[in-house]
Structure 1
């Protein structure tokens, strides 16, 4: 049966609709395809991402290794980059270009590496300087050296103390050029505001004739360089930091001014019971305080015998009964020589006050205001009631201490004779490598180098006693002195050695600071101490322009850092350097221009601040003090 017309139309409609639907779908798909892949440039980029020629890959790898990718992207032109990477050329040419460019790239890489290493070195030096600065700031004093009342009330003095002393007219009329020439001739470096002129003889300093005669009888006919500049500075009432090598006459530079001030004050109005002191000298050890006291007492007696007013001098140290000083306390006194421990005790018990005190000297000042001892000095300062003239003296004054002192003093004058921490050039320094077990025997040989008296130093109290016992068994007249000895034993050792009854004194560090022994020709360091103590210990010889010998024993137990410090010290003093010291190399880079740069904490030339053994020692001492709850060490 034939289909009807309606059926045929329906069938045609279905076919047409199907074709239309398929067509529309195909057109839509074609449009989508054209939209996605119709851009030929994007298709090329896609292909280029999928395939990279071997030469180009090698070049890119070289760039990655040498770090040139960034520099090429920043500074190179597009055409240069195409030439380097081989774009826009045949694949065969790309390979040749890659070979050529690889050689060039290696040279560029080497140059870039060198430049980068130079930058890294510079940045490393800057990092080290920054690190050292932070270490110094961490260990710096938090507040200046002043009394509690001054700090609490914000009292700040801007002008130095005025005194009646003036230099002679011809000295005042000198030009700055003449003063500079005189300082240069005497190897004196004076820094500060309105530095007083240098004076080359005692008479022009207006010192009384009896005192000049007394000094001449002691063999002191003219002032030493530190005295030429230091005495006028102190007489003028100026705060001062005095730095000079051992045996250069620093004690007289601060003793004479306090005697002259006391003499003037006693002439104006005599002191009565309960008055005084006018001035104070603080020392780090009993022996040094006793020596300073004896010198002041001798000058006071010379003046009194010549008709001048009597000056009272009080010794205030541990280990002695203050009843012995009762007569001085009862009639008033002008000068106190003390160690910090006993001085604090006397001030706290109000045995005397510092209401009239206008002169303060810290001998061996780096020890006085060093870590662990700073609070003792601060406690003493709290008893002052008025402005004072402050003087600090030492042979070793690291920059850290100088900076702190300059902040605490009023318009200070810094007088420097030689480098702070440098050894006395009049001392012949010999360093011997001696095994630990052979030291005692070799010590006897060393004692035969020179005639007595001889000083032997050891940093161990038990070792001091052992050495003395050994020498006594061998028939050598020897005495021993260290911190554990009683005061009577210490004084007996000093007196018998100074008088010549004993030939050898075996000592710990207590005898290394400032003690002046006559005619010491030889110092033996049985154990090598740190550099600061070494400079002080060898300084017991070669004093007042005389020549001395210092022999130091070292071995494998000695710290290599200390040996490096010693090597640089010998180089600076132009001494013979033994081969085992010369073989030690400095891991640090030298300072600018090859100049040695010392540690700002201890002045050692063989290490930097971050490696300073003194900082480590101070931290241990401070920790031990806190654990005991006693606030630090004493004297």
Structure 2
């Protein structure tokens, strides 16, 4: 029997043999259905039941039973993304997760997404597109490297609270309400931003300065604080970090020298400095002339305090072009204050002539100009010598928002004090703009000199023009001196001193004389040519009209001036309510379309009002310098070293 069954099986096909063998297992046998087919059947049932919810109808053939086998492969691919979950839930009889786009191919989905993006882009207004483009440009050029020392960055040191000082406002000032303080700020056009802003104070006596300081201010004819001093002095005396912005000639220098002198005096009174100790604080300036002027202001204050019976405050001038041996006697004792330019200060710290172990106060005068001139790395190197937290104060007449945002990385809960618009011209200066052909400018100078009595300051863009103008004026019998970066320090100091003492009638200079220098009696400034940046123009004309006095600024323009800078000048004149010459009125203003869109005017990079960041000449020039690996080395070497 067994032999016959074996013979019969041998004559059958393998599939038949396996099928009968399977039947021998028992009557409960269930035929195997492939997984893809089971998925297709479940998906067909789901489409039939939920077709209305997904927007897919049975008329397309996917939901009918007769087409289920033909569509099994198609449906199995669509359901493949949830294959693992379905396989696990299959025995439980659960319904697989199927999205509303499960019946739409990926290509069709991609097309729909692109259509939606195109529609969204088409719905944007021109103003939105312009703002998005400018935001991308500003994000691309934003400095992401923190303005802090390498040690602080590497160790993750972050200071949370400002430095504490012993100074407090008088009681009647502390008891003023926020509404009263806001009314005072509004009256003097003071804009203060930050946390826990110290109160504004309208009298030097209420700031608790000693009598010798009040006598010093009285002798200089300073009866009450200027707006920047009303808010800036309390902020600095409180130990707060600050960004101070005010027009030229508004008294910014006194706002940072007085607090530093008072802190040095307090430390010396508590415990006199020994040999090798100090400084208590320092001021960093972008040019030698500004450093020298700031040093002389500190010396005058220190001498007045010493004559009044207070301790002697020692000030060190640290800049290129001078012999440090002349100040060797200062190193025998402690140094309270250092006034320096970045390059020489870095060199002195590297040679360990002094240290910053006790230094808790750092001020950067004309901070934005210093960073623009390429001293950023020098500043970071200087910061690395600090051992503890310091109070950082930045001052300038032109402080674009880009520089403000970058500077905040080094400040702790900073207070931003702004008097007027950042980059605005001094309203005490009468601005006259005249169209003069290039070949006629040097001859026309003599006529311009007749507008006011001497002294007169003439600015030129390059050194050769400075020398040519001085030579021409000397030939015409005008007592003139000149300064620029290629002259020796002795020549530069002689020219400045002779001009300030009224021995010479005219000073011809490059921009080395435009950054912060105080010429109190100058009534007329002549710009032989229009500078390449509107910030330089603001600083140049700011050498007159100082301390509330009225001055005149005459500017020569012609076809050699770029259209962007002329448009910036046009808007600056309108802002200051000055006369706009016809040659500037005739210029087509591309920023008018932005006004029609309701977008605020001005460049977010340099602060110019006559162009947008997409046409910023300063940004273009800096990108060219960066690509060529140069950051205005001749100007840096001439101005600071």
Contact 1:314 1:329 in 2 (8 A): no
Cα distance, 1:626 vs structure 2: 5.3
1:354 to 341, 352, 356: 356
* Residue equivalent to 2:469: 467
- The alignment partner of 1:150 has SS state of helix
Cα distance, 1:375 vs structure 2: 1.3
Q: Deviations over 1:500-534 (max 9, x none)?
A: 00000000000001000121000000010120000
Residues in 2 aligned to 1:547 and 1:121: alpha-carbon distance in whole angstroms: 52
* Residue equivalent to 1:259: 261
Contact 1:596 1:605 in 2 (8 A): no
2:578 to 566, 575, 589: 575
Residue 297 to residue 612, structure 1, CA distance change in 2 (3 Å): same
1:603 equivalenced with 2:604 (yes/no): no
Contact 1:372 1:618 in 2 (8 A): no
Q: Deviations over 1:234-260 (max 9, x none)?
A: 000000000000000000000000000
Q: Matched residue pairs, number?
A: 520
Please report the RMSD computed on the Cα atoms of aligned residues, expressed in angstroms. 2.1
Contact 2:625 2:632 in 1 (8 A): no
* Residue equivalent to 2:451: 449
* Residue equivalent to 2:553: 550
User: Runs of 5+ in structure 2 lacking a partner?
Assistant: 1-117
Contact 2:319 2:345 in 1 (8 A): yes
* Residue equivalent to 2:159: 157
Residues in 1 aligned to 2:119 and 2:138: alpha-carbon distance in whole angstroms: 28
Q: Deviations over 1:218-249 (max 9, x none)?
A: 11111100000000000000000000000000
* Residue equivalent to 1:482: 484
Larger Rg: 1
* Residue equivalent to 1:216: 218
2:187 to 185, 188, 192: 185
* Residue equivalent to 2:45: none
- The alignment partner of 2:372 has SS state of coil
Cα distance, 1:629 vs structure 2: 11
Residue 200 to residue 595, structure 1, CA distance change in 2 (3 Å): farther
Residue 558 to residue 138, structure 1, CA distance change in 2 (3 Å): same
* Residue equivalent to 1:308: 310
Residues in 1 aligned to 2:549 and 2:597: alpha-carbon distance in whole angstroms: 35
Moved more, 285-294 or 318-327: 318-327
Residues in 2 aligned to 1:576 and 1:508: alpha-carbon distance in whole angstroms: 26
Contact 2:192 2:416 in 1 (8 A): yes
Contact 1:370 1:401 in 2 (8 A): no
Contact 2:625 2:631 in 1 (8 A): no
User: Runs of 5+ in structure 1 lacking a partner?
Assistant: 1-115
Residues in 2 aligned to 1:360 and 1:611: alpha-carbon distance in whole angstroms: 35
- The correspondence of residues 249-398 of structure 1 with structure 2, limited to 5 A, is 249-370=251-372, 372-398=374-400
Residue 370 to residue 439, structure 1, CA distance change in 2 (3 Å): closer
Residues in 2 aligned to 1:372 and 1:125: alpha-carbon distance in whole angstroms: 34
- The alignment partner of 1:401 has SS state of helix
- The correspondence of residues 32-47 of structure 1 with structure 2, limited to 5 A, is none
- The alignment partner of 2:594 has SS state of coil
Contact 1:179 1:198 in 2 (8 A): yes
- The alignment partner of 1:590 has SS state of helix
Residues in 1 aligned to 2:521 and 2:512: alpha-carbon distance in whole angstroms: 20
Residues in 2 aligned to 1:335 and 1:341: alpha-carbon distance in whole angstroms: 17
1:228 to 207, 211, 230: 230
Residues in 2 aligned to 1:224 and 1:316: alpha-carbon distance in whole angstroms: 29
Residue 519 to residue 117, structure 1, CA distance change in 2 (3 Å): farther
